Amino acid sequence: MDAVQSILPYILPGVLVTLEISVGAWVVSAALGLVLAVMRDTRKPLITLPASISVEVVRAVPQLVVLYIVFFGLGTLGINLDSLTAAIVGLGISDAVFTAEYYRAGFLTVAPKQRDAGLSLGLKPLQVARYVIIPQTIPFVVPPLLNSFVGLMKSATLASAVGAPEILYGGRNYMETTGHVAPAAVAIMGLYIIATVPLTRAVRSLEKRVQMRTRV
């Protein structure tokens, strides 16, 4: 009990930072992923090619390396981001290439003739995406997007590598200060289980509801 009490002051402030990183990176990922998916869906080489190359390149690079590039690499170009912003941007970009695939899979669930129906009304391609395609993909895209949020909560621990004071960062401070590694690791593990297990279950139940709806 004493151990827990002594650890909490180190890691609790990091909970808020972890949440900030997860939510921020998730928003970046959801928005950028959508842009990349729409770009790849245009079937215009000048637009699809940059999107496809970006997706392939970022997907090949470990998240931590992307984080270093955003934090240190941009720094050498004179763009200095604080560790929290760098973590949000870096993890968001890393995750966006996967989110783009979720959207793309969602787009594939929409019959191609739906696009024709939208175009034949005189809607512009972006309007077709906005009013016809994307709303139909939402039931299919939301569960993997929420799963991606759970993943980002865990990936947020990488932000400690660029000095963002999230949960692991606090835990490491405790370990270095006290020399007790195991209690800190167990406490961090406990916090993550409390946060992610209910979320994962909620996503699973949402997935089931989507499956039931689409089966009709």
Question: Least separation, in Å, of the C-beta of 99 and other proteins?
Answer: 21
Contact call for residue 116 and other proteins (CB under 8 A): yes
Tokens of 27: 């928003």
User: Least distance (Å) from other proteins to the CB of residue 216?
Assistant: 7
Q: Which is nearer to other proteins, 200 or 214 (CB)?
A: 214
Closest-CA residue to 98 (of 29, 7, 3): 29
Task: Supply the minimum distance, in Å, between the C-beta of residue 114 and other proteins.
Answer: 6
Residue partners of 47: CB distance under 8 A and separation at least 6:
39
- Say whether residue 126 binds other proteins (CB under 8 A): no
Contact flag: residue 124 with other proteins (CB under 8 A): yes
What are the structure tokens assigned to 139, written together? 């039931």
Stretch 62-91: interaction string toward other proteins, x if CB under 8 A: ------------------------------
Q: Fill in the DSSP letter of residue 161.
A: G
**Residue 109: CB minimum distance to other proteins, A:** 11
Query: Considering only residues 119, 186, 199, 206, which one is a binding residue for other proteins as defined by CB under 8 A?
Result: 119
Q: CA-to-CA distance for 32 and 45, rounded, in angstroms? A: 19
Q: Which residues of 54-76 are buried (b: 16+ CB within 10 A; e: fewer)?
A: bbeebeeeebbebbbbbbeeeee
Count of residues engaged in binding other proteins, rule: CB under 8 A: 18
Residue written as token pair 């993943």? 151
Determine the Cα–Cα distance for residues 183 and 189; give it in Å rounded to an integer. Answer: 10
**Per-residue contact string for residues 135-154; x = within reach of other proteins by CB under 8 A:** xx------------------
Residue carrying the six token digits 């990936």: 155
Part of the chain binding other proteins (CB under 8 A), chosen from 29-37, 85-93, 109-117, 190-198: 109-117
Contact by Cβ (8 Å): 11, 186: no
Tell me: does residue 179 bind other proteins (CB under 8 A).
no
Residue ranges binding other proteins (CB under 8 A): 111, 113-114, 116-124, 127, 131-132, 135-136, 216
